[in-house]
Amino acid sequence: MLLSLGSLPATAVSYVMQRFPDSAAWFADEVGAGRVRSDDGTVVTTSSPYVPGASVWFHRPIPDDDAAPVTLDVLYEDEWIIAVDKPHGLCSTPKGENVRRSAVVAGRVQFANDEISALHRLDRSTGGVLLLCKRREHRGAFHKMFEQRSVSKTYWAVASLNGRVDAEPVRVESRINKTQGELQAREDPGEVNAITDVRLLVSFTDESGEWGLYEVRPLTGRTHQIRVHMTSLGLPLRGDKLYPVPLNDFDVEDPDNPMQLIARSMTFAHPMTGESVMIDSRLTPSSHAAVAG
């Protein structure tokens, strides 16, 4: 589990224990056993100082539940990373009751590697390319390329048509904030921190009406950025239960009608080899069979 340390305690351990007092005893045992690590793989001890912007890594206990095993479709693999197609409805990382039902835990089981971690996140409702790191000592190099925004991402989205977006890209710029404990992110006045380019690839009609398949390129990585910006264009995503208004069953995934957002491709310069890597998802929008090939 990754925790960003955002306060100013004396040590990293004291921060975690203050933030999660109910788990303090368990966490103390993990620290004592040497199972808590920093970004560079160093063992975190009770005297490890708090460093602003640093992170600590540890594995949350996995409850003994009846969750069905998940097999991840591998898109790319080398000695450092594995890229998989995260299914719609699967959390990227263990969260709340979704521990076994997460890509990280599924990857650790499938690849028999307890060090596997997610290098970025996709919303539970979003499917597509997810990058996993094999070893803790390599995480920092790959995290840096995300922090420096040197990773190019392309998404496919299905939404209605309203004439505001066509084949020419439309850029949406705003300030997006999300408060912990609130369901939705929001656009606030102030300096721009979220930029998204959107263009229409093709339109189609089915029994539910007229729709568009959009190519979406986020230039930044704010929480729910694509969902917020598509909604601001008057184009909420098909199957989205959270935007523009949360539905009563917003937290219940419908496998027969997933939210129509796919992390379609990812391109980056490999930090270990310097080579250009492009990874494409094999998922397609389930509501638009015309692009299934």
- What amino acid positions are annotated as catalytic residues? 123
What count of other Cβ atoms lies within 10 Å of the Cβ of residue 287? Answer: 16
What count of other Cβ atoms lies within 10 Å of the Cβ of residue 220? Answer: 13
Q: Which residues contact 92 (CB under 8 A, 6 or more apart)?
A: 86, 102, 103, 104, 118, 120, 121, 122, 124, 130
The letter for the amino acid at 277 is V
Q: Cα angle at 97 between 229 and 181, to 5 degrees?
A: 45
**β strands within 20-91, DSSP E:** 37-38, 55-57, 73-77, 81-86
Q: Quick one: DSSP state of residue 58?
A: -
For residues 5, 104, 271 and 44, what is the CA-based torsion angle, rounded to 10 degrees?
A: 40
Give, in order, the Cα–Cα distances in Å from 21 to each of 44, 47, 62, 63, 94.
Answer: 18, 19, 19, 19, 19
3 state DSSP class of 277:
strand
Burial 18-43, CB ≥16 within 10 A → b, else e: eeeeeeeeebeebbeeeebbbbeeee
